[in-house]
Chains A and B, each alone.
Chain A
């Protein structure tokens, strides 16, 4: 699959080490449809290619949105790109969040750090069909108040009557007057019916592991908890084996998995 050229239409710095790129196709061949939770391979010409979740609105296929963190060579080069620069895009790849299957249920979204980015399309999707879901709850944990992603959007969502938003930070800094503590501490008191809930969880693996345990303590079944796994992906189509996770390849079998399918793999050191 050959990368298609996309032009950067907007660069937005989210936090000290995260940024969002908005992309529009260079060629006049239309739009880019994707399902919430899928990812693209983004290619910085002459530097390399990396997998990045799509964080925009699936209802707005004219603009591709990706939020990423500066962690390696490609993301460092990517951060230096400006409006008008062109990058390559392959995708979309992977399995998506079960947003359709969740209809008729309460939905709990548990996000940690940059893990909010792959969950944002699920929220856009759900909020655009709000009447199809029961309670919708977003539990978000960040390292510090300065590390909170999509701050303005969270404020807007918090003001909505049909979405419960709870944000907590591991370390309070400055004049932070919100909650302090890890995101798992929000789960016991979040307002949802555990027997009628689909949970979507994304963040560091250890955070997802403990979130899944806490959700189960509340009574959410392991088949109703979904995690998005992250590994080093190269080809994105299941050939190269870089993202092998036990018997699965995350790029084509994931990144979204039901918890039951991966829970025994999560504690194996060698994986």
Chain B
């Protein structure tokens, strides 16, 4: 049977975590679904969750006056959505909107922050994993900025 505990334990993001840490994390987890077009979070709102996308596609958008919402990245199956829950002041920097029907596991960031303070081993493990995601997104953004496919004289 597909339990949240098993799904999270087998997910690459959580690979190598102690069983007790997985159990702590599962205590903050819930299945969620978003219809196509539905906002998952909006820029400026409090960031109190992150999501393990199980199915579907999510667009990270930023609102540009005069141009409307501009998609800067999309995330899909298996990817982690949201790291602002971990870094003060815990506010979202972008909008996240489901491009299509999206199913995910939502992790309660407030719940996890308390557990990370109580158990620094868990906190350190999560920080390492999120640092990796932040690094990947930073590298990807830098490549995007290079505009490598443009004609450069």
Contact surface of A with B, Cβ cutoff 8 Å = 17, 69, 71, 112-114, 141-143, 147, 168, 170-172, 176-182, 184-185, 189, 203-204, 206-207, 210
Q: How far is the CA of A210 from the CA of B100 in the complex (A)?
A: 29
Decide yes or no whether B59 CB sits under 8 A from chain A.
yes
Closest B residue by C-beta to A70: B151
Q: Name which of B14-22, B71-79, B87-95, B102-110 contacts chain A.
A: B71-79
List, sorted by A's number, 30 A–B pairs whose CB atoms are closer than 8 Å: A112-B149, A113-B148, A114-B149, A141-B149, A142-B149, A143-B147, A147-B149, A170-B144, A170-B147, A170-B149, A172-B70, A172-B71, A178-B74, A179-B57, A179-B74, A180-B59, A180-B71, A180-B74, A181-B140, A181-B144, A182-B143, A184-B139, A184-B143, A185-B136, A204-B149, A206-B143, A206-B146, A206-B148, A207-B148, A210-B143
Chain A: CB-nearest residue to B150: A143
CB B57 to nearest CB in A, in angstroms, measures 7
| CB pair B140 A184 closer than 8 Å | yes
B residues near A, CB below 8 A?
A: 57, 59, 70-74, 76-79, 99-100, 136, 139-140, 143-144, 146-151
Bound state CA distance, A189 and B76, in angstroms?
9
Which residues from chain A contact B99 at a C-beta distance below 8 Å? Answer: 177
Number of A-B contacts (CB under 8 A): 64
A178–B59 CA distance with the chains assembled, in angstroms = 9
B74 and A181 form a contact (CB under 8 A): yes
A177→B78 CA distance, assembly (Å): 19
Q: How many Å from the CB of B54 to the closest CB on chain A?
A: 13
Q: Which residue of A lies closest to B70 (CB)?
A: A172
A207 (CB) vs chain B CBs: closest residue:
B148
- Given contacts A180-B71, A184-B139, could you give 10 more A-B pairs where the C-beta distance is less than 8 Å? A112-B149, A141-B149, A142-B149, A170-B148, A170-B149, A172-B71, A178-B74, A181-B74, A182-B144, A189-B77
Interchain CA distance A112-B149 in the complex, whole Å? 7
Inter-subunit contact B149/A113 (CB<8 Å): yes
Whether the Cβ atoms of B140 and A204 lie closer than 8 Å is no
Q: Are A204 and B148 in contact (CB under 8 A)?
A: yes
Cβ of A136 to closest chain B Cβ, rounded Å: 20
Chain B residue nearest to A204 (CB atoms) is: B148
Residue with the highest number of chain B CB atoms closer than 10 Å, among A17, A113, A171: A171
Closest 6 CB pairs of A and B: A113-B149, A143-B149, A172-B71, A204-B148, A182-B143, A180-B74
Min CB distance A269 to B, Å, is 16
Kindly name the residue among B77, B144, B151 whose own CB sees the greatest number of chain A CB atoms within 10 A: B144
CB-CB < 8 A to A182: which residues of B?
140, 143-144
A170→B139 CA distance, assembly (Å) = 13
Of the residues B76, B78, B139, contact of A179 by C-beta under 8 Å:
B76
Complex alpha-carbon distance, A175 and B150, angstroms: 21
